[in-house]
Structures are given as C-alpha cells and as structure tokens.
Amino acid sequence: MPPKPTNKTNILRCLVNGQPVRIDYLASVSNMSHESVKLTLLSLPYVEYNQAGNIIASGLSLPPTPYLFQVGCKDLYTWCALDTLMYPVLLGQQANVESLCPNTGTLIKLTISSKAVKRVSPEGIVLSLVVPKNPSTCCDVCDTFCNHVHYFSSFSAAERWKATQSNVIILSLKEAFDLGCYLAKCRLELKKTSFINMIFAQQS
C-alpha cells in the first residue's frame, strides 16, 4: 500500500483547485478528525490563512507572488522557484511557470511536468539557492530559503546577483529539476531528507 500523503501534500492538492481550503474539508480528504488536523497544522511552518480561518497558502499560494504557477486555467503562485519544480511531481500535473529575472527583468517562461521541463524561454535559465554554512542542517522544505531562490535568465545574470549575497550557489536548470524531483519524491514516500546535503553532493 502506498504511503498516505502528508497534510502538507494534501494542502497542495486542495489549493490547486484555486479556492481557500476549509479545515473540515482538509480533515475529510486526510481521513483525520477536525481536531487532529488543527493540531497538525500548528506544527507545520508557514501556513497562511484568510480572515475566515481557511488556508490560502503553504508553498502553493492563492495570493500573488513573483512566481506564477498556472495549472489548467487556474492562476496559482508559489513562494520560490524551487517550488515550481517540486509541485508538478507532487500534484501529478503539468504547470506553466512565469517569473522575472531579478537581475535583468527578463520574462522567464517554463512548462514543467512531473517528468521533465518541456519548454524554456530564454535558453540558459539557472536557479539560485542559499545554503546555510552548516551542510548537515536537516530541512525537508525550502520555505526558509525562499527569499533567495530565484530563476535567472542566464548564468552571468545570476553571478552578478550572487556577488551581492552570502552563501548562495547557482544550479543549472537540470540540477534544480533533479533536486525538485528528489524532494517531491521524498515527501511522497514520507522520507526525511536534507536537500542541503543533496546540493553539496551535486556540487562535489
């Protein structure tokens, strides 16, 4: 029997419908009691709610962010570039992604499925990632690093931005997609992992 998705994964699968997620609905799809879900949500970092107490963001976001994540005809958003590579795997759905290069302002477009990045504009896109000084730090989500995780239109554009930052590495699009797939599969299989350790393995 496949492992049961985590509540965070269930939140994503509910948010992709494009509507705020009620706690009682999340409890129903998670096969958990309302109180158990509320207690679990308290342990999850970075869950955003609207005034009615419904979930509106947890990596995948209904309020706009710099990362448009279009699934079907629904305009959704993510908190960082790496999320856009993880979520097609977690959701099993193709997404059209748009963002602006922080250095040049160039419009970046990608079509991402659970298996591959199918369309890229412009060619040569790379991704930045901030890495704590301690590579043994364990973290199974990228939310802590989102403010530094961007798409860039070229390696040179990323390098110019990197010169103003600390503890940042630049990944090729293939490296970033492989990382996103790895993190998504670990979440689906309920494996604890450190994406930081994987990054360092890629760079060695």
CB contact at 8 A, 165 and 103: no
Compute the average pLDDT of residues 141-168: 85
- Please name the helix (run of DSSP H) or strand (run of DSSP E) that holds residue 10, with its range, or none: helix 7-15
**Rounded-to-integer distance, Cα 25 and Cα 72, Å:** 22
| The pLDDT value given to residue 187 | 82
Active site residues: 80, 83, 146
Domains in the chain: how many in total? 2
Both 137 and 174 in a single domain? Answer: yes
Both 195 and 102 in a single domain? Answer: yes
Strand order in the sheet with 151-152: 151-152, 126-130, 168-172
pLDDT band at 137 (very low <50, low <70, confident <90, very high): very low
CB contact at 8 A, 14 and 26: yes
| The pLDDT value given to residue 19 | 95
Entry field: residues in the chain? 204
**Rounded-to-integer distance, Cα 164 and Cα 159, Å:** 9
pLDDT digits (tens, 9 = 90+) for 6-53: 567 889 999 999 999 999 999 888 888 888 888 888 887 788 999 999
Name the more confident of 186 and 197.
186
pLDDT band at 138 (very low <50, low <70, confident <90, very high): very low
Q: What share of the chain in percent tops pLDDT 90?
A: 62
Both 196 and 182 in a single domain? Answer: yes
pLDDT, the chain, mean: 85
Q: What CATH number is attached to the domain comprising 40?
A: 1.10.10.10
pLDDT digits (tens, 9 = 90+) for 49-60: 999 999 999 999
**Rounded-to-integer distance, Cα 51 and Cα 60, Å:** 18
**Residues spanned by the domain of 52:** 7-61
Both 48 and 91 in a single domain? Answer: no
| The pLDDT value given to residue 109 | 98
Q: What CATH number is attached to the domain comprising 196?
A: 3.30.450.410
pLDDT band at 166 (very low <50, low <70, confident <90, very high): confident
Selection from 124, 131, 107 nearest residue 200 by Cα:
131
Contacts for 119 with CB less than 8 Å, ≥ 6 apart: 109, 110, 111
Q: Strand 67-71 relative to strand 95-100: parallel, antiparallel, unpaired?
A: antiparallel
Q: Which of 40, 61, 82 is the last residue of a domain?
A: 61
pTM score:
0.85
**Rounded-to-integer distance, Cα 127 and Cα 38, Å:** 35
| The pLDDT value given to residue 135 | 47
| The pLDDT value given to residue 34 | 86
Question: Is 143 part of a structural domain of the chain?
Answer: yes
Given a cut of 90, is residue 111 above it in pLDDT? yes
**Rounded-to-integer distance, Cα 199 and Cα 109, Å:** 24
pLDDT digits (tens, 9 = 90+) for 59-96: 999 999 999 999 999 999 999 999 999 999 999 999 99
